[in-house]
């Protein structure tokens, strides 16, 4: 089983014509739903609102086959993100976070037994920024089942950050506690401004994770370990938007990883990482071909990716 922890929210997507479409989202929500759609066994750890949007998010997870590990709803309103899509299909975000559902996960919601049976734990997103959710995510790390792989995707959103220096230190603290870090080149520009991407990624590797995975849009992904640097080509697609592409990458990576019964002790092995990343980039590319964080109904991994 894969446990995904963090926020679920509603993306208010504004396209080039000015049309607004509300879509379920939030990085951990996207990861959990995509894992289930790929056939993975997944549970979601986060607080969902009792408002209409919260019910929509709950239904979307359950319909996909995701277990809701914290079933009691919160009266706090659902977190909102406004995503404006530019001519290149990239999204620019603004967040409405204060006092919303993303900040409502407490340490009492995450007893040690909540991770029973988990082979992997995925963390990241806005929950890293707000308390008590951030402390609850730290508690999950400390309660890791033996051998479980922990993957962190900081999913940096500068529009949600009020103190950039404190944010960088916060992310560094989380990186020191996990096995695999997934970052985009955009994340690296936030975390290590002024540094070349590979140098910045190696700086993150020096904090202690076994591997750093770097995505760069349609350019090849990079797998970094202490011993090797490997490149993984990305499938060429015609993008509709890039919303959820990084989340789809994480979902594809962990679905492949757990399907092949790999654990934290394989997290420094380049061959396993490259094979999982090959699967991950296929899922991420497919996500870009439809609106929002989603997969085409007919998505299937290629034989080379799933092997």
Supply the DSSP string of 139-205, one letter for each residue.
Answer: HHHHTPPTT-EEEEE----GGG-S-HHHHHHHHHHHHTT-SEEEEEHHHHHHHSTTS-HHHHHHHHH
Q: Are 259 and 40 in contact (CB under 8 A)?
A: yes
Q: What is the reported pLDDT for 240?
A: 87
Tens-digit pLDDT string for the chain (307 aa): 999 999 999 988 888 788 888 989 999 999 999 999 999 999 999 999 999 999 999 999 999 999 999 999 999 999 999 888 776 667 778 899 989 999 999 999 999 999 999 999 999 999 999 999 999 999 999 999 999 999 999 999 888 888 999 999 999 999 999 999 999 999 999 999 999 999 999 999 999 999 999 999 999 999 999 999 999 999 999 888 888 899 999 999 999 999 999 999 999 999 999 999 999 999 999 999 988 788 888 888 776 666 6
pLDDT at position 307: 64
Q: How far apart are CA 195 and CA 86, in angstroms?
A: 26
Q: How many residues does the chain have?
A: 307
Task: Name the pTM for this structure.
Answer: 0.94
Domain boundaries 2-297, CATH class: alpha beta
**Which of 218, 189, 221 has the alpha carbon at shortest distance from 204?**
189
pLDDT at 32: 98
Q: In what order do the strands lie in the sheet with 42-45?
A: 67-68, 42-45, 2-5, 120-124, 149-153, 180-184, 211-216, 219-225, 229-232
pLDDT at residue 89 in the model: 67
| Strand-strand pairing, 9-14 and 79-85 | parallel
Q: What integer pLDDT is reported at residue 87 of this predicted model?
A: 66
Bridge partner residues of 79 (DSSP)? 9
Three-class DSSP category at 220: strand
Quote the tokens at residue 22: 């509300």
Tokens of 2: 């894969």
What confidence score (pLDDT) does residue 131 get? Answer: 93
User: What's the angle, vertex CA 84, arms to CA 55 and CA 186, rounded to 5?
Assistant: 100
Per the CB < 8 A criterion, the answer to whether 7 and 127 are in contact is: yes
What pLDDT is recorded for position 304?
65
What's the confidence (pLDDT) of residue 49? Answer: 98
**E-only strand ranges, the chain:** 2-5, 9-14, 20-25, 42-45, 67-68, 79-85, 91-96, 120-124, 149-153, 180-184, 211-216, 219-225, 229-232
Q: Where are the beta strands (DSSP E) in 30-90?
A: 42-45, 67-68, 79-85
DSSP secondary structure code for residue 49 in this structure: B
- Confirm if 246 and 153 have CB atoms less than 8 A apart: yes
CB 68 within 8 A of CB 109: no
- Residue 40 carries which DSSP code? -
Distance CA 157, CA 154 (A): 9
Q: Return the structure tokens found at 80.
A: 């909102």
């Amino acid at each position: 089983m894969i446990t995904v922890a963090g926020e679920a929210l509603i993306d208010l997507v504004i396209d080039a014509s000015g049309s607004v479409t509300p879509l379920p989202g939030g990085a951990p929500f996207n990861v959990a739903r995509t894992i289930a759609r790929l056939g993975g066994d997944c549970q979601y750890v986060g607080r969902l609102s009792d408002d209409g949007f919260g019910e929509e998010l709950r239904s979307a997870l359950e319909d996909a086959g995701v277990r809701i590990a914290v079933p009691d709803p919160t009266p706090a309103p659902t977190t909102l993100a406004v995503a404006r899509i530019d001519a290149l299909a990239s999204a620019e975000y603004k967040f409405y976070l204060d006092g919303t559902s993303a900040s409502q996960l407490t340490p009492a919601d995450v007893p040690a037994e909540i991770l029973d049976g988990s082979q992997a734990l995925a963390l990241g997103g806005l929950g890293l920024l707000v308390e008590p959710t951030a402390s609850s995510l730290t508690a999950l790390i400390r309660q890791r089942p033996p051998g479980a792989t922990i993957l962190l995707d900081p999913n940096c959103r500068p529009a949600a950050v009020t103190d950039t220096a404190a944010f960088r230190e916060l992310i560094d603290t989380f990186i020191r506690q996990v096995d695999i870090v997934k970052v985009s080149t955009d994340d690296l520009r936030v975390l290590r401004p002024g540094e070349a991407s590979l140098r910045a990624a190696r700086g993150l590797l020096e904090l202690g994770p076994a591997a750093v995975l770097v995505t760069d849009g349609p350019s090849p992904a990079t797998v970094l370990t202490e011993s090797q640097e490997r490149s993984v080509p990305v499938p060429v697609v015609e993008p509709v938007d890039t919303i959820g592409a990084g989340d789809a990458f994480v979902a594809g990576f962990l679905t492949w990883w757990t399907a092949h019964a790999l654990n934290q002790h394989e997290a420094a092995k380049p061959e396993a990482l490259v094979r999982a990343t090959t699967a991950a980039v296929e899922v991420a590319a497919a996500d870009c071909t439809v609106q929002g964080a989603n997969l085409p109904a007919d998505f299937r991994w290629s034989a080379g990716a799933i092997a």
